[in-house]
Amino acid sequence: MMRFLLCLLSFFTALLFIVVMFNGCAPLDDHEDGGTPDDCAAACANLEQLGCDGAEGSPGVDEEYGTEDDVPCEDVCRDVMDGGITMHPACVAAAESCEAVDECFS
């Protein structure tokens, strides 16, 4: 369990670093354009309905889906949003195609 938490922390740290590199000094807690963590359930349901990547969540430390350490889509979304990085869940929830989902992150 500790190994999983360390890997998860490393993942979020790396993700945060990438976002800061591409956004400069933009505030990381600004969710106004993409929704809030409360929108994650609707976003994940829409991803699943559309058959888009991301609906399955994260495969966890072992990087294999269908095992004990899988993390559901909604949990991944909420964790990332709680870390200050928007996953644009309101936009994803309203998207009508996987291409539209991709445009949420442009």
Please tell me the total number of residues recorded for the chain in this structure.
106
pTM of the shown model: 0.68
Q: Between 29 and 83, where is the model more confident?
A: 83
Domain boundaries, the chain: 2-104
How far apart are alpha carbons 103 and 106 in whole angstroms?
Answer: 5
CB atoms within 10 A of CB 19: 16
Question: 104 CB contacts (<8 Å, ≥6 apart)?
Answer: 34, 88, 91, 92, 95
pLDDT in the model for residue 34: 72
Number of other residues whose CB lies within 10 A of the CB of residue 87: 25
Alpha-carbon gap, residue 29 to 3, rounded angstroms? 28
| 18 pLDDT tier (thresholds 50, 70, 90) | low
